[in-house]
Structures are given as structure tokens and as C-alpha cells.
Structure 1
Amino acid sequence: MTPRAPGAAAPSGGPLLLGVRHHGPGSARAVLAALEAARPRAVLVEGPPEGDALLPLAADGRMRPPVALLAHAVDDPGRAAFWPMAEFSPEWVAIRWALAHAVPVRFVDLPAANSLAMRERPEDGQDDGDLGIDPIGILAGTAGYDDPERWWEDVVEHRSQAGARTDACAPFAALAEAMTALREAYGDGGHPQDAVREACMRLRLRSARKEFGDDIAVVCGAWHVPALAARTTVAADRSLLRGIPRIRTELTWVPWTHRRLARRSGYGAGIESPGWYGHLFGSPDRPVERWMTRVAGLLRGEDMPVSSAHVIEAVRLAGTLAALRGRPAVGLAEATDAVRAVMCGGSDVPLALVHDRLVVGEILGEVPDGAPAVPLQRDLTRQQRSLRLGPEAEPRELELDLRKDNDAARSRLLHRLRLLDVSWGTPAAGRGSTGTFRESWRLRWEPELLVRVAEAGVWGTTVLGAATARAESDAVSASSLAEVTTLAEQCLLAGLPEALPVVMRALADRAALDADVGHLADALPALARSMRYGDVRSTGTTALGEVAVGLARRVCVGLPPACTGLDAESADLARRRLDGVHGAIGLLGDAVGADGLTERWTGTLRRLASRDTVAPPVRGRATRVLLDEGRATEEEAARLMALALSPGAPPAEAAAWIEGFVGGASGGGMLLVHDTRLLGLVDAWLTGIPAETFTGVLPLLRRTFASYEPGVRRTLGELVRRGPGPGRAAGGGGTPAPGFGEGLDEERADAVTPVVRLLLGLPAPEERAVAG
């Protein structure tokens, strides 16, 4: 006996096939009406059969959509797939109806064990977006619509409720007829797995009919309805399933978000407006008025002047637009246009907020504790609760004070998860103190992180154990010194004392074998920071300090030769390395074996500053560091600058020296403001550059001085204009600073006066005399 055509009245005509569009509120309402009218003995829903045991959880009051079935391979958790369901999903409505009426409900589709084994990419979904053709798009184009979403709204979402009560199955009959025509025209040109899936569906439908008879309702994608109604043999269907691969899988319910429903790739379901669809499903009466009220509330919360009059006018405009466009009811396009014109003043900026917060929305579903989960997930959930750090869909800024026990525990958890590639939190620049007792994080929970947690489960059953095992494995397999030093820093941040011995052995081995001074210089700052973190977090770092001091001494010996014969790019890298090493040595002052390290570093800086063969940016920065640390007097710094800016020095090299000395965030601008002697040297060199070479050094000079604050640049300009020195600012006759002229060059000033008058719109002196 073949399934009856959708909409047939006789219950003996075969199972009731309810073809739907996944995540459509109109389809969901139609499914609910059809189930209420037909009252089937069993309900079959498109989905993996392994999920049957999880269906009773949908009746749990703590289960709040959107949620998703997560299936992943036991031996390869990264191979996973989701079956998302929202409150307005027809499948979810069918499941809830069946559980509420004590009607057996089962999934009917290809098992996840087979679909995951057949899938090359774990992010391949099973919704309409995977079809080789877009049936909704074809139907919309045939009807003269250029937007499939708008066609679906007009034909299904906005159909009258009166029509639905007259014949609850009429929409499904129309969709089945349309899909049959499409499959006849285009063949079974869907997803490559469709033939196998549909064969499995037919076999499971036959099995259900043997158990319950023909009084069965099947809720599936509309595309599959013609295939389920087709006359086939059991042997033919089984032949399609013969030999398909299979892997061991585990399934559970996981929370989902509206934003994930809105994505068209990856794990998303491709719904452009889940927030709008949820509103339509939850507001059967006066949906437009309720929507405009929600929009007004959102905008008022952002201090925009929106009143009830705006709401009334927006509702009227939306209705007028729908009538002019020949639509049966107000759709999202009309509502959006009305909001833009009436509430947003024609601006798309507040409209983008409405789209993000309401049209898409950021609702995070909830799953009860009874849902299966890997042990690592259970431990993570327990810690989230104990630390009062629950997952949220909305981005959240978190400021931590590591002197507080709870904040320190939160920090360790977030760092351990990052080490496991579960990037729930991302370190951010803090708004408050910049000390090491403060940490700032940006938190955002994504459903995919549950897959990451499942993958990380291979390392252990607790977050601490898994992070420790992962750190030890990474230390052994690390191929460079920088990787191990970064890992040592992560271990201290994450509080992994058991992993540190393994990491330290790997660090000592890599440091002993690595002869590249650049690699040693790159590794040293991370080690020094790790020691500081150890002090803050009460972690022993004696072994770490010994390795760091040994690296620092090797850097002191090898850095000057490594800074010679460099091109511009390599010289800039060497300058940044010098800064990093200087900061690191400052943190190693109390480390074991660090006696005399500061003096050795001072000697290294002097060699870098005085050798002509060293790259100019490095020489300039070494000179500046010596001056700032009081290791060089102002006279010595001025002498080194004079040598670097002497007429015999190539202008490009001199400009690079200046950039190293006063460039970047080193506070060089204020140094020139307060030391007029150095400013005079720079000014004299700059004014003496030949015209033919000035253009070549100008970009470098612009980059150097553009980094200063506007106030600093303005002050420097004033000092250069009036010539800093005793008595000069007041117009006295004092001795000008080196590099500044003795007085005003009146001939040069007179040459630009006419141009300035023309720019300001002032009359020339002779014109003013005639007018007088």
C-alpha cells in the first residue's frame, strides 16, 4: 500500500506526508494544525534514528530552543554534524505535539553513523541549502519573484488562518504537487546522499507501518515527499544501502543560537531572519503592531527619540507598502522600510542595530542536565557553574583581578580552554590597570565550541587533566624554541604545575641547541613574562629563571654581530627585538644567576650604539635606551646623534637612526620638546639635506613624526619656528640653540607673504592704500 497523497481525507489511504521547509513558522503552524486534525497514532520526523532515545528530553521544561542534535564520531570528534531546531521549526512542533499527546515519535532518516562516514567535510549540513538545486528559488522564479524568501512568505507564511482551519492539509498537498513537478523536470538532482537517505526513509516508514498501520504522520523536507510516495520495492531500497560506510557515533542535545540559524554555510541553517520568524510564530495576532513596539523599545533603549506616534505611523506605512506591492500581508521588507523611514530617519545605522538585535537576534537555547555529554563537557559545565561564568550568546567583556580567588580560577579556566583550542574567551586590552594583576577577556559562546570540547576529550576527562596532557604532548612535538617558550607561558597562565617539568626539559633542550640569536631574542620576553606571571600566581619559577638568564647572557654576546649588514626590514625587526630583550632583562633582575646581567646588557647597548657597522635604527634605539636608563649622559647622546647626522652620513641612514632614537611609542617627541639641544641637531640636519635626496627620506621622517600626539607635534613646530634657547622665546637676544638661525630671514618671509594674503582673502598693501 503506498502513502496517500497529502491532504487526502481517508485515514486508510496511507501515511500522511507533511512536506515542510525547515525552520518556517508557517510550516510549523500548518504541521500543528494538520496533526490536530489527523490525530495520527505515530509521528516520524526527519532526523538521525540514533536520536530516538533523546526525544523524551524535548518534553523537559528546562529544554528551551533553539537547540540542536549533535552527532560526532567517537574516534574523531571533529567529524560532526548538527540538526538545529528552533521554536518555529516544524520538526520541533511535531516532536512536542507527539510527546504532549503520548504519541510515539521517531526519527526517520539515514543514521548519523552512515552520513558522517560518507561526508568528506564535517560542516556539510542536511538542510535545503545542500541541495544541488534550489527548489524554493525555482518556484519563486516561476511565480515572477526575484526573492525566494519573499515568495515563501507570501505563499506560506502569510496565508490566512481561516484557510488553514478549513483544510489543514491543503498547503502540504500544494507543496507536494510542486515538488513532484520539479523532480519530474530536474530529476533527482539534489544532494548526492539524497537517494540513499530516501531509500532509508522508505524502509523505516515501512517498518513503522507494520507496527502502527497507515495512521502515521511523516514530517520531512518538502523535496523528499515525492520520493517517499513513490512505488519502490524493499529489495531496491536495500540495494542502495548495501556497502555504505559506517562509523561509531554519539549523539546529544546542545544549545543553539539564532545567529547560527542565520548562517548559510558551516553549521548554519541558512535562515536570514530567525528573530523575525520567531516573532511571527509567537505572535499569531497583530504581529506587525507587536513588531513595531519591540523595535521602538530597542531604539528608545539606545536613547533615540521614538514615541508611540512613530509606532502608529510605522504600522500604517508598512501596511500601505504591502498593498502597493500586492502582498497579502506585511512582510519583513515592508516592516524594515517602514522602520527605516519613520523611526530611523532614513539612516541605516540604527537600522543595522534593529537587524542585529531583532531580525536575527541573539537567543541562546538551553539543554537539561540529563542530556548525554562527554566527561570533559560535564567537568566544564560544573566549573562554569561554580565560578558563576555561564556561557552567553552575546559578547561579554570580563575584567579579572587575579588577587581574588574566584577571578584567578576564572583566568585559569579560560587559559586552559585556549590551550585546548576551545576559544571561549579571547584576551583583550583592559580598560583599567595595566599591571600584571589585571586581565581582560572578551567572551562569546559559540555552538561549535561543543565540538571542540568533544575533540579535546581525547586528552582527558577534566579540563585540568586534558590541558596538562595537551601541554606535555605539544612540548615534546614542538619544533622551535619560540613554540616552547610560548607554551611555558601558557602553562603558567593556565596553572599547570604538572606539565611544567616536561615543558622546561623541552625548553632547556631547544635553548641549548638553537644558535640563532634572533630566535633566542624572540624567546626571551615570553620567558620573562612567565616569571612575572609566576610571581602573581604564586607559582615556582626557579628553573624557568635559570633558563631565561642563560638565554639573556647568550643574547648579550651574540646581538651586536647579528645587527650588522641588515636590510631595512631586518633592521626594523632587530630594533623590535632590542626593545623586547631590554624589557625582559629588566624583569630578570631578581632571578637566580642574574647578578651582573644588567651591567653586561649595558655594555652590549654601548657596543650597538657606537659601532658604525650596526644598522642605523638599532644604533639609534640603543642610544635612546642608554639615555633613558641613565647609562649615558645627555652630552654622550648628543655626541652620538651628531655623529649619526653628520654631513658625511647618507641621509637615508641618518633618517633611520632618528627613527630608532625618537620613533614609535618611545616618547621621543617629549624628549625633543624638553631637550632643545637634540632638537637643534635634528633641525640642522633636516634643513641641510640636499634637495635631490630629501624626497627619498621624507616617507621615513613622516612615519617617525606622525606617531607623535598632535600637541607634541604642535609644540615642536612652535619651538622650531621661534628657535628655542635662552631669551629667544621672549624675543631677547640670547644665544640660539645649535642648528637654529640667528634671526628672522625677512627676504624669505616676504616671498611667501603674497601667497598667504591670497589664501586669507586679504587685500595687498597697495590695494589697501588706494581704498584709503
Structure 2
Amino acid sequence: MTAPAASPPRVPGGAGHPDRAWPCDGPLVLGVRHHGPGSARAVLAALDAAEPGAVLIEGPPEANALLPLAADAAMVPPVALLAHAVDDPGRAAFWPFARFSPEWVAMRWALARDAAVRFIDLPAAHSLAADPSWGDEEDAVPGGEPVPRADPIGALAEAAGYDDPERWWEDVVEHRAGADATRRADPEAAGRTGREAAGRAGPEAADRALAPFAAVGEAMAALRERYGHRGRRRDLVREAHMRIQLRAARREFGDEVAVVCGAWHGPALTARSTAAADRALLKGLPRVRTEVTWVPWTHRRLARRGAPPGRGPAEGGGGYGAGIEAPGWYAHLFDAPDRPVERWMTRAAGLLRDEDRMVSSAHVIEAVRLAHTLAALRDRPLPGLGETTDAIRAVLCDGSEVPLALVRDRLTVGDVLGKVPDTAPAVPLQRDLARLQRSLRLGPEPSERELELDLRKDNDAARSRLLHRLRLLGVGWGRPAVGRGSTGTFRETWRLRWEPELYVRVAEAGVWGTTVLSAATAKAESEALSAPALADVTSLAERCLLAELPGALPVVMRAIADRAALDADVGRLAEALPALARSLRYGDVRATDTATLGEVAAGLAERICVGLPPACAGLDADAAARMRARLDGVHSAIGLLPQAAELGGRWADVLRGIVRRDSVPGLIRGRSARLLLDGGRLAGEEAARLMGLALSPGTPPADAAAWIEGFLGGASGGGMLLVHDERLRSLVDGWLASVPAGAFTDVLPLLRRTFSAYEAGVRRTLGELARRGSAAAGPVGEGAGAPGFGSGLDERRADAVLPVLRLILEGERV
């Protein structure tokens, strides 16, 4: 995507005021907290005061060629640098930047002032090549004690009497008073007027701007003297490389160099060290070929801690924790020119009003007062996130956590997705995906949303193909969901959510092809040849049809035919058939030629009919449960095959044979009987006879309970059969009353599992019927209706339903 570039040259007549003295001895080291708005404002003030000729930033040097893109108007933070190994794209790392990140402010300032700017951290070529845990092992001092892992901010907060490091940092840095804390930070405006302001600024202004960094540097130096490198030898290597880059910049620009880095590293960059010693630390480091690009980032991703999925190191930047809990709040602090608390409360009130909550201007005024009062009681200079949240909860949310959760999600964190210009480098597959997203009007969004597709519409069908192809490539942008509307095969429901890590998945998938279609086809063909089981190949065929990959289908069909011919395990054949049947169904909806697939499915069904009865005999409870699931799948699949008319009779004979086999577990025999009854191939009287035999006194109670579970449990009509068929209900009731006390505890779990699957209304009706008592078993007819129900079928009322039912069915077939 990009090659390592030479350092951007310094433009003559750019940064560096000729009539101004450099405000410090040596380079200016600005130790910051990553993603801190207070640090960002302080960095901008320091750069305005010092006017350095070059700005060095903690980040991967391979991205130096991409730095000019940060000044592009189409670049909207949050964004991140993505570096990955060329030969192993899954080995990747991110360096995220928000608008309130000090590094982002520094690079925008330098680009606006034509100052040289470059990254100086350890190259990604080394960090990606190393093991992710490299450099994090604990060292031991001569006495044998391990070096403690220091939390610099925590140590400073504790010394200041704070028990919360976040609160201490907010009080000392984020809420600093003064002009630099209230002016709107605008690096572009600073580029236009900074030179004049710098000319007018006196030494006192420069001292005020640089004083916070001097104080932080002194504190970090004391901590490093106590804790060393915090037990992280990786830091020593990174700092050695940064010192080497700093020496090179000083040879080019003199001392007028500013370095923006994590505060912990500041003292190490100015410490006495020889170039030879630093090069020795870098000697022998592993290296891989890398590519770097800009990718959009999200506030929600900034709020997470830890590394993103992948095999690379954690997010770049180090700092004092990989996640910030309130990126939306930090962005607000950075962007609000004045009265940040009042503006925050107004935003919260607007959000709650949009959700139909009664929030007035009086509520906002009272919430602001409460926030300031809480800050005074807690001895804080200004209300922080804790005080504003407490005030919103008490005043705007009436003490409820439910609306407060909405404020936290939408404002405190926020669904903000950055943008990257089209000129940013990207793998060909990413460019093709972006083109498809634009043409289908299906842009990535950071928040989850539901997408309903009607496959009869060309655009929706194309969207469906794209999402299925991406799923096959392992890019999980969307996942299928159960729709609330029609269940017809021409409708699909998806839940979409774009995560920045998906850019890594796209880069990984780029090895299969340069377009989404070619990559998905190539991967499907590879999976067909390497799939370990027949069911995996048939499932792949279904996904190929959904994704409309005609180029891959011949390879997949050959793999299915070859494996089906060699596989003699009826269980595996039964697991494979449902996917084939669904593939035929979906192929019909998408007008795909599936004749070959239909022939394979029919042959598979014939083999299952021959081998299933003996395969069901002699199974234990766990194996019987698995076989029951396969039985259900085959039964549904045969009904979907084009040869359903011929195969249906054959399948019914198989089920009858299973019902009569005493060696078959009761769970499977009961399920087979129910499938025959539901299919109209078993009369009600015969079903009652079979239940009577299964529940006879000679049958062990556990076997009888298993038969009942197979006949009535799971998805077997939800218990409505027992509600409406008094004869079957009486048989179950009579058998249950006759179970001996010693055996009842053994069958109770099976019965509870059977009846717990019924809806609450069905269970309540059955309980009411059992309480009333029921008549002796007999045919249901005139005068013999179940209590609470009619005595027979009212044909006139039943016929009135038919027109509506016909309309529904015709709509499903359209």
C-alpha cells in the first residue's frame, strides 16, 4: 500500500521565527497523555510559543509518507494508522488519533506552518515481526525481586492525595484555568496567525506555555529514577530508536526541534546516551515487510481497552491505558470554546428530548448548578465527568439509570466514525469494497442497525450478495437475523455494524483476489477442496448460492459428489442433506441453475432412507438426542427437494419402520410417530394406540418419558396437540398418575424439559384442563369436546379463514 518514505523536507521561510530566541536549551520535549484534550491544548500553546522548525511525533516511521494526508480536508478524525505485515496481514497494529489527541494537533500544526514533521517511534517492521509479548517480561534486580510495574499517573495521583488517577489528571491537566484552556484549539487558524502572535508574545507567555511540560517532565524523571523502565524492556528499545531519530533531526535543524511523546518517555529522550549504545539495543531485531495506510476509526473503539483482534501488538501510542472511557466527553472538552458544563447539559437535554422525555430549560439550569455544587464539595476546580453524570442522573433522568445509559452511550462515548480521503493507499480489495458500498448506498456505520432486504429488488439482491460474500471471506460486517415481517425466502434481515478491525480482515482476504467476487470465489474453491466433512461442503454450497458465486459451484459440486460417494456414515449424510435442500430453495429464489445439486441431494436422500433405521438402533441418551436432531433435519429437507412427491412416501415408510423397532430409543420412536402424525400419514387413533403401548405398565418409566419427549417435546407444535386432543392428554395424565414414587424422580427431569418448552399460555391452559379433570378417553365428536372448547368443528367459521389464508400464501409465492 505504501513504501517507507524519506523525511518531508523543511520548506524555506516556514516555521522558525528569525527574531525569536529558542525558549530552552536543547530540543523541546512535550510529554503528553495520549488522547488527552488538556494535553492537546497545552501542546498547541507550546508550539505557538516555541515555533520549532521540526516536530517529531511518537509513531511508526513507515507512515511518514502519509503525514501530508492529515492536512487533507477529507480527513476527519477519529482516524488511525494501520500497519500490517505484507505476507501475513493478520499481524497488524493500529495507531489511533482523535481530534483531541496531542499528536494529531502537533501534526496538523506542523503541516499548516510548513514545518518538518515525522514519526520517530520503533518501526512497525520490527514491532510486527516480534512476538506480541516481547519486551513485557518481568526483570529482576540483583536481590531477586521483580521490577514493579509502575503506573506513572497513579503514582503522581497518590502523591497528590488522590485515590483515582483519572480524577487527578482531569483536575491538574484537563481543567487547567487560563486562556490556553478556554480558547478553541484550531491548528489551521494558528498556522495563519501564529507567526504574528509569536512575534508579539514575550518570554513570560512562552514560560507559561512550557511550564506544564517542565513540571510533568520533572515528575516523570523522579518516577523513572525509582521504577526504571517499569519492567518493560520493549520501552528501552523504543526509546533508543527515538533518541537516534532525535539526533538526526538536531543535525538537520539544530536545537529548534519539538518532540511530542508519551510523558513517561520524555526523560529518556534527554538522558545521556551514546549513539553506539542505542544502536546496540536495536541490533538483531527481527524485521518483516510492512504496509501502512490511514483507516477510519470510531469513538466507540477508542473507548475499548486492549489490543484489537489480530496477532500484532496493541494499539500504538502506549500511554497509560489503551482505552479512554469517555471519548465523547473529551471531544466536547476540546471543542467547547467556553462554558463546557453548560453546553454539555444542553446536549444531554436535547438527546433526552429526542427520546420523548420531558426536559425543560429549568432542568438544564438546575443540573448545571448541581454539577458545580458537587465539584465544590469534592474540592475540584471544575465539574468533571463524574459531577456532570451525577447531575444528569439526578435532575434530567429523575434518578433513573435507564435514560442515563442512553446519555452514556450516545454522548459520553458516542457513535462517531472518522473519514479518510480516497487518495489514501489501500489494498485493491478494499478499493473494490468501497466502490461497491458507494454504488449500493450501503456505507459503513459505527452503530448497529437492522437492514431489511427484499430480494425481488435488484439493489437489495446486490446488497445481499455483497454481505454473503464478505461473510464467506471472514469480513463480518453483517450477520443474518430473524426478521419481524414475512418469512418468505425472498426476504432477508441483517444486523450491520462496521468495526475498524474489519480493515485488517479485508487486508487478510486480499490474498484471495483483487475484487470481492474473485476473492470469495477463490476462497470457496479452496475450502471445498480442504473441507474435512461432507456437511462442511454442503454448507459451503449453500453459502455459494447465497453469495451467487457461479464460478465456485462446479468445484463445490464435484467435492460434494466425491465425498458423498465415499462417506458411509448415515449420521454425516443426514447432517449434510438440510444444507443441500436449503441451497436448492435459495437457488430457486435467485434463479440459479441447481439441477446438478438436486440430483446429488436426491441420491443422498435415498442413501439416508436405506441406512437410517439400523443407524437408530442401540443408541444411548446423548446419541439419541443427536439422531433426533438429524431426523428433524432430514424430514424438513425432503419436503424441500424437487423429488419430494416420490421421496415423501419412501420417507414415511422409513419412519413407520423406526416406530415399530423396539431397539430404537423411545425418544426417536416418539419423534417419528409425531412426524407421521403431522404429515397426515398417521391416523389419530393409531397415534393414541402407539402412545398407549409406549406408556403401558410394562415399559420402564424412563423409556416412556423419553417417548413422550420425542412425541410432544421441542418444536412439536408447542403443546397445542395436548390442548386439543383429549384422548392423548388423558393417556399422558393416566400414565403420569401411575408412575411409582421411586421412579418419578427419574422421569421428572425429562418431563420438565418437555413441558418447559411450551409457551406460558399453553402451560397455563394445560394446567387448567388438568385441574378441571377430563372425560374418559374417547373420540372427539359432538358432545365430547374438551372443557373450555367447542364440541366440534364449526365449518362455517373455519371456511371464513380461507380467503385470508389464500392471500397470505399467494403473497409468499410472489
TM-score by length of 2: 0.85
User: 2:22·2:50 contact (CA, 8 Å) conserved in 1?
Assistant: no
Match of 2:37 in 1: 25
Give yes or no for the alignment of 1:463 onto 2:463: no
- Residues 465-614 of structure 1 aligned to structure 2 (within 5 Å): 465-588=518-641, 590-591=642-643, 596-614=646-664
Secondary structure at the counterpart of residue 625 of structure 1: helix
Letter in 2 for 1:139: L
State the Cα distance separating 1:138 from its structure 2 match.
Answer: 1.3
Aligned to 2:698: 648
Q: Residue type of the partner of 2:463?
A: R
Consecutive unaligned residues of structure 2, counting only runs of 5 or more, are 1-19, 137-147, 182-204, 309-314, 316-321, 787-814
Give distance in 1, aligned partners of 2:300 and 2:41.
23
1:77 corresponds, among 89, 93, 96, to: 89
Question: What TM-score do the two structures reach when normalised by structure 1?
Answer: 0.90
1:4 corresponding residue in structure 2:
none
Aligned to 2:338, the other structure's residue is in SS state coil
Residue 269 (structure 2) aligned to one of 211, 228, 238: 228
Is residue 230 of structure 2 the alignment partner of residue 189 of structure 1?
yes
Q: What amino acid maps onto 2:162 in structure 1? A: Y
Contact 2:489 2:589 in 1 (8 A): yes
- The answer for the alignment partner of 1:445 in structure 2 is 498
Structure 1 unaligned regions, length at least 5? 1-7, 125-130, 738-772
Counterpart CA distance in 2 for 1:309 and 1:655 is 66
Structure 1 distance, partners of 2:176, 2:436, is: 48
Give deviations 1:191-234, integer Å, cap 9, x for gaps: 32222211111111111122222111111111111111112222
**Cα distance change, pair 625–386 in 1 and its aligned pair in 2 (3 A):** same
The equivalences for 1:656-675 within 5 A come to 656-667=706-717, 669-675=719-725
1:294 partner amino acid:
R
| Contact 1:42–1:216 (CA under 8 A) maintained in structure 2 | yes
2:172 partner letter: V
Larger RCO, structure (CA 8 Å, separation 6 or more): 2
Q: Structure 1: how far apart are the matches of 2:105 and 2:24?
A: 24
Cα deviation digits, residues 414-434 of structure 1 (max 9, x gap): 111111111000111111111
2:117 to 102, 105, 129: 105
Using a 3 Å threshold, how does the CA distance of structure 1 residues 14 and 343 change in structure 2: closer, same or farther? same
What is the distance in 1 between the residues matched to 2:39 and 2:421?
Answer: 27
- Output the CA distance in 2 between the equivalents of 1:472 and 1:271: 43
2:763 is equivalent to residue 713 of structure 1: yes
Paired with 1:381 and 1:132, the residues of 2 have a C-alpha distance of 44
Q: 1:393 aligns with which of 415, 425, 446?
A: 446
Look up the equivalent residue of 1:48 and give its one-letter code: P
What code does the residue aligned with 2:497 have?
Answer: R
SS where residue 493 of structure 1 aligns?
helix
1:639 Cα deviation after fit: 1.2
**Corresponding residue for 1:768?**
none
Match in the other structure for 1:318: 371
Please list, as runs of the form range in 1=range in 2, the aligned pairs for 1:80-479 lying within 5 A after superposition. Answer: 80-120=92-132, 132-162=149-179, 167-189=208-230, 191-267=232-308, 269-479=322-532
The alpha-carbon deviation at position 123 of structure 1 amounts to 14
CA–CA separation in structure 2 for the residues paired with 1:85 and 1:121: 24
- Distance in 2, matches of 1:453 and 1:152, equals 38
Aligned to 1:742: none
Higher mean C-alpha deviation, range 672-681 or range 403-412: 672-681
Cα offset, 1:348, TM superposition: 2.1
Which residue in the other structure is 1:61 paired with? 73
CA distance in 1, matches of 2:433, 2:420: 15
Aligned equivalents of 2:372, 2:456: Cα separation in 1 = 59
Paired residue secondary structure (1:266): coil
The answer (yes or no) to whether the contact 2:452–2:494 under 8 Å persists in 1 is yes
Please name the residue that 1:769 is paired with. Answer: none
- How many Å apart are 1:401 and its aligned residue? 0.8
For the aligned residue pairs, the C-alpha RMSD in angstroms reads 2.2
Structure 1 pair 654/64, CA: closer, same or farther in 2 (3 Å)?
same
Tell me the distance in 2 between the aligned counterparts of 1:583 and 1:139.
67
One of 8, 11, 28 as aligned partner of 1:16 = 28
Conserved? CA contact 1:12–1:215, under 8 Å: no
SS at match of 2:83: strand
1:93/1:709 CA distance change after superposition, 3 Å: same
Q: Over residues 80-110 of structure 1, what are the superposed CA-to-partner deviations in whole Å (9 max), with x where a residue is unaligned?
A: 1111000000000011111111222111121
Provide the residue aligned with 2:747 in structure 1.
Answer: 697
Percent identity, aligned pairs only, is: 74
**What letter corresponds to residue 238 of structure 2 in structure 1?**
R
Q: 2:47 pairs with 30, 35, 40, which one?
A: 35
Q: Which amino acid aligns with 2:331?
A: G
**Aligned residues between the structures:** 718
Question: 1:122–1:598: structure 2 CA closer, same or farther, 3 Å change rule?
Answer: farther
**Match of residue 318 from structure 2:** none
Match of 1:627 in 2: 677
Render the CA deviation track for 1:644-664: whole Å, top value 9, x for unaligned: 111111122111111111212
Q: Is the 8 A contact 2:55 2:110 kept in 1?
A: yes
1:726 offset after TM fit, Å? 10
CA distances 1:250-282 after superposition (whole Å, capped 9, x unpaired): 111000011111111114631111111111001
**CA deviation after TM superposition for structure 1 residue 157, in Å:** 0.6
Compared CA separation, residues 629 and 271, structure 1 to 2 (3 A): same
Amino acid at match of 1:489: E
Distance 1:734 1:333, change over 3 A: closer
Shift of 1:674: 2.3
Matching residue of 1:747: none
Determine the C-alpha separation between the residues in 1 that align with 2:112 and 2:711. 76
**Which stretch shows the higher mean deviation, 632-641 or 26-35?**
632-641
In structure 1, the residue matched to 2:191 is none
SS of structure 1 residue aligned to 2:273? coil
Contact between 1:64 and 1:367, CA under 8 Å: does it hold in 2?
A: yes
- Aligned to 2:451, the other structure's residue is in SS state strand
Cα distance change on mapping 1:727 and 1:381 into 2, 3 Å: closer
Paired with 2:715 and 2:229, the residues of 1 have a C-alpha distance of: 64
For residue 252 of structure 1, give the secondary structure of its aligned residue in structure 2.
strand
More moved, 188-197 vs 382-391: 188-197
* Residue 11 (structure 1) shift: 4.1
